[in-house]
């Protein structure tokens, strides 16, 4: 069994004068939950080698039992507004794509809003969570799970997920990967261009047919891009364009 919550190792990574404080735990329930409940400063990063109850999007579980994979959460500024949260989701996905290209020299793509796919299979997911105080955001935490070095994948997700090691045969030091990610992340965070203009370059499905899952219904659309605040633009069979902020693209397309 793992050690308890008070037992961590500490390191710092400096990127562009920002000091990221790393708290590395053997095992936690969820790095996001830990960061949300903590009073840790901005740019603290919680890492766990394993999570007992890793959180995924839409109330799902993020399987976190392989310490070859990377599970971390960054505490971010609390002066962001809801609009910039959508933007943060997208730029984090762009930063992950750039990091993976940088480290492994392979191309990966984004499945809206922020799954990272390698040849159509998921290798990374992002979960941005915020605590509210009245109608103000009080704490924003950015959680990332990346299937890096694991040499196997859980049976229940085998058909739609993979790991970078399984695909490339390469293993990487987790903290080295994190360091490279932070450089790309800060580059994107400081960038003030329009995120929607770059979507066609990063998206896995731009101008392709997708199955869109929303409120228990599934419908086919063509993906036409995103808006500058992160909504997905989809075109129905009649050529009518819609903007969607919630829901997701299924993995069932093409199967």
- Using CB under 6 A, list all residues that contact ligand BTN: 30-32, 51, 54-57, 60, 62, 71-73, 115, 125-127, 143-145
Question: Which residue, 35 or 226, has its beta carbon nearer to ligand BTN?
Answer: 35
Length of the chain equals: 255
Q: Could you tell me the smallest distance in angstroms from the CB atom of residue 55 to ligand BTN?
A: 4
Question: Which residue, 191 or 246, has its beta carbon nearer to ligand BTN?
Answer: 246
Question: Which residue, 66 or 137, has its beta carbon nearer to ligand BTN?
Answer: 66
Q: Could you tell me the smallest distance in angstroms from the CB atom of residue 145 to ligand BTN?
A: 3
Q: Could you tell me the smallest distance in angstroms from the CB atom of residue 61 to ligand BTN?
A: 9
Q: Which residue is nearest to ligand BTN (CB)?
A: 125
Question: Which residue, 20 or 62, has its beta carbon nearer to ligand BTN?
Answer: 62
Q: Could you tell me the smallest distance in angstroms from the CB atom of residue 200 to ligand BTN?
A: 22
- Determine the Cα–Cα distance for residues 145 and 136; give it in Å rounded to an integer: 27
Question: Which residue, 232 or 235, has its beta carbon nearer to ligand BTN?
Answer: 232
Nearest to 100 by CA among 79, 127, 122, 132: 122
Q: Could you tell me the smallest distance in angstroms from the CB atom of residue 236 to ligand BTN?
A: 26
């Amino acid at each position: 069994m793992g050690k308890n919550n008070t037992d961590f190792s500490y390191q710092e990574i400096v990127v562009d004068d920002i000091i990221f404080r790393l708290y590395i735990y053997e095992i936690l329930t969820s790095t996001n939950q830990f960061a949300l409940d903590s009073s840790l400063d901005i740019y603290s990063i919680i890492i766990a080698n394993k999570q007992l109850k890793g959180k995924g999007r839409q109330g799902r579980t993020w399987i976190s039992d392989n310490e070859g994979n990377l599970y971390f959460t960054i505490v971010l500024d609390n002066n962001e507004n809801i609009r910039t949260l959508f933007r943060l989701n997208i730029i984090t996905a762009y930063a992950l794509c750039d990091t993976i290209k940088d480290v492994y020299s392979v191309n990966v793509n984004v499945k809206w809003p922020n799954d990272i796919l390698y040849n159509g299979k998921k290798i990374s997911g992002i979960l941005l969570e915020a605590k509210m105080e009245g109608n103000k955001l009080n704490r924003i935490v950015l959680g990332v799970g990346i299937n890096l070095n694991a040499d196997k994948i859980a049976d229940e997700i085998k058909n739609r997920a993979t790991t970078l090691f399984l695909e490339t045969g390469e293993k990487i030091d987790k903290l080295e990967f994190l360091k490279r990610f932070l450089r790309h992340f800060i580059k994107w965070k400081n960038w003030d261009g329009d995120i929607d203009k770059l979507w066609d370059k990063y998206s896995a499905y731009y101008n392709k047919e997708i199955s869109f899952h929303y409120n228990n219904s599934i419908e086919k659309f063509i993906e036409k891009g995103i808006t500058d605040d992160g909504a997905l633009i989809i075109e129905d069979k009649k050529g009518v364009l819609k903007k969607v902020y919630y829901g997701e693209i299924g993995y069932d397309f093409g199967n």
